[in-house]
């Protein structure tokens, strides 16, 4: 089985920075695309950024130029560096793996972490 565990959330002032991490556990051979999503109270979950297994990146317009997604395949971890944070960035941030393939064979699709709270406020 596989688990995704987010960390790094917290309270930060507008204009500040935060770095989120999402570590995958298990005997993982390959993780395909990874993504960060967020959900604010009263709103639907929205895509923030994705990164493919080859390192290609996509960003939602509202974070472009401020956030950077990266991954460390050896550590089985995906990161989200968030700079120049705004109050509208306040949300629970979730990481997602579209497909995880295990050394022993087999794979699991659409794995979600439990989320980490990011609050941007003065």
pLDDT at 40 over 90: yes
Average pLDDT over residues 60-87: 96
> Is the CB of residue 80 less than 8 Å from the CB of residue 20?
yes
- DSSP H helices, 1-122, are none
Structure tokens at 122: 């003065």
Q: What is the mean pLDDT of residues 95-110?
A: 95
**Which of 40, 36, 97, 92 shows the shortest CA–CA distance to 69?**
36
For residue 81, give every residue at least 6 positions away whose Cβ sits within 8 Å of its Cβ, in sequence order, or none: 17, 19, 67, 68, 69, 70
Instruction: Give the pLDDT confidence of 8-34 residue by residue, as tens digits.
Output: 999 999 999 999 999 999 999 999 999
Average pLDDT for 65-81: 96
pLDDT higher than threshold 90 for residue 1: no
Tell me which residue of 54, 48, 51 sits closest to 85, measured CA to CA.
48
- Sign of the Cα pseudo-torsion (84, 89, 91, 97, in order): negative
118 pLDDT more than 90: yes
């Amino acid at each position: 089985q596989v688990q995704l565990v987010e960390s790094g959330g917290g309270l930060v002032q507008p204009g500040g920075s935060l770095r989120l991490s999402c570590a995958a556990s298990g005997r993982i051979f390959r993780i395909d695309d990874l993504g960060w999503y967020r959900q604010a109270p009263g709103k639907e979950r929205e895509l923030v950024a994705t990164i493919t297994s080859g390192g290609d990146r996509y960003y939602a317009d509202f974070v472009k130029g401020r956030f950077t997604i990266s991954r460390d395949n050896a550590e089985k971890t995906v990161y989200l560096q968030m700079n120049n944070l705004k109050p509208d960035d306040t949300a629970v941030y979730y990481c997602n793996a579209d497909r995880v393939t295990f050394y022993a064979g087999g794979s699991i699709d659409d794995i979600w972490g439990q989320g980490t709270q990011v609050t941007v406020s003065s």
